[in-house]
Amino acid sequence: MVKTVNDAGDRVLDDVQISRVIEMAWEDRTPFGAIEHSYGLDETGVIKLMRQELKPSSFRLWRQRVSNRATKHEAKRSFEVGRAYCKTQYKQR
């Protein structure tokens, strides 16, 4: 869990963590709750990060993609969706 916070109270992530949050945010089956658990960013924080890091057109595409997507919001997920982890999800390092 990231513990560094700036003066505005926002989490400060390094480049590798930012890249991973963006990757998780683009994945359909990874809910915002998983990002919050791993990096301490709630849905609003993820939206703010995506707005800062993506080009405006990419941000609009992402927002359109995740808006009202049941798999991104744990409260809307049905039991059949399963877990947010896939064995091919993480890159080999």
The mean per-residue pLDDT over the stretch 30-51 comes to 91
Q: What pLDDT, on a 0 to 100 scale, did the predictor assign at position 53?
A: 94
Residue 19 near residue 39, CB atoms below 8 Å: no
Question: In degrees rounded to 5, what are phi and psi of residue 11?
Answer: -70, 145
pLDDT of 83 above 60: no
Here the tokens at position 12 are 């400060």
Q: What does the mean pLDDT of the chain come to?
A: 79
Amino acid at the residue 6: N
User: What's this model's pTM, rounded to 2 decimal places?
Assistant: 0.68
Q: What pLDDT, on a 0 to 100 scale, did the predictor assign at position 58?
A: 95
47 confidence band (pLDDT: 50, 70, 90): very high
Of 52-56, 75-79, 88-92, which one has max mean pLDDT? 52-56
